[in-house]
Amino acid sequence: MHLSSDDLVLWEYGWVKLNLTIITTWILMVALGGGCFLLTRRLSNAIHIPRWQHVLEVVLLGIQAQIEEVGLAQSRRYISFIGTLFLFVVVANLAAIIPGYEPPTGSLSTSTALAICVFIAVPLFGIREIGVLGYLKSYLHPTPVMLPFNIISEISRTLALAIRLFGNIMSGGMIIAILLTITPFFFPVVMHALHLLTGLVQAYIFSILATVYIAAATRGEGA
């Protein structure tokens, strides 16, 4: 048994390794990108639109509404980043219903990569909204004494993001694997359904936390 799909290296040349995580991610990228390409080729501007277009619009407008609800009024500026986070984690987690599939989000490398993306994106969005000085001042909020704690908070919440997602997804996969060996048939099915729900909730938590961090940075309220 392996803890992460990173351990399954399919091709290696020097320090370059193509493990299962990267391959699965590529497959998901092709599925998502190709699917969107195929779906959005025939978008209709008419009053009556196809049902699949309704589904796409419901998903996108739902994400946009969540972003605005958190406090980012200009939701279209952030929907590419936050929406991609949510859709990637959701699709990666829900694809676990396919037998033999190992979600890339169950890899600490992937969750760390996503957390690093959030770690980099938060100051970039903050600086774009309120400028460099405005953003840096947010670390002195509410008093300069809080500067080290704000920096620690910035790093720790990134770690928390990465480990929360990794822990939940990895543990779900582990539990199902263990239950299959102990009590096959019924319990693994229930746990699998629970794992799907957990994956959905984790995707929501990950993306909503990223939105909250970005919203705090763009308002200059610090970490």
Partner 1 sequence: MLIDWFTVAAQVVNFLILMWLLKRFLYQPVLDAIDAREERLTQQMQAAQDTQAAAAAERNKYERLNAELAQQQAGLLAQATAEVEATRLQLLEAAHNETASLRSQWQDALLKEQQSLTQGIANRTRQEVFAITRKTLADLADTGLEARMVAVFINRLQTLGMAEKIQMSPPAGQTDCQVLIRSAFLLPPNEQKALGQAVRNLLPIQPTIRFELASDLLSGIELISNGHKLEWSIAEYLAALEASIGELIHTTLVTNASVAPPEPAHA
User: Would you count residue 106 as binding partner 1 (CB under 8 A)?
Assistant: no
| Cβ proximity to partner 1, 33 vs 148, nearer residue | 33
User: Would you count residue 40 as binding partner 1 (CB under 8 A)?
Assistant: yes
Q: What is the DSSP letter of 13?
A: E
Q: Which 161-220 residues touch partner 1, going by CB under 8 A?
A: 166
Helices then strands, each counted (H, E), the chain: 6, 2
Which listed residue (1, 11, 13, 37) binds partner 1 by CB under 8 A?
Answer: 37
The letter for the amino acid at 23 is: I
Q: What SS3 state is found at 142?
A: coil
Which listed residue (8, 32, 147, 196) binds partner 1 by CB under 8 A?
Answer: 32
**Among the candidate windows 37-45, 133-141, 181-189, 193-201, which touches partner 1 by CB under 8 A?**
37-45
Single out the residue of 166, 155, 167, 165 nearest to residue 213, CA to CA.
155
Q: CB count, 10 Å around CB of 134?
A: 15
User: Would you count residue 76 as binding partner 1 (CB under 8 A)?
Assistant: yes
Q: Is 17 left (phi over 0), alpha (psi -120 to 50) or beta?
A: beta
The answer to whether the beta carbons of residues 166 and 139 sit under 8 Å apart is: no
Q: By the criterion CB under 8 A, which residues form the site for partner 1?
A: 3-4, 6, 15-17, 19, 21-22, 25-26, 28-29, 32-33, 36-37, 40, 43-47, 49, 53, 56-57, 60-61, 76, 79-81, 83-84, 87-88, 104, 107-110, 112-114, 116-117, 166
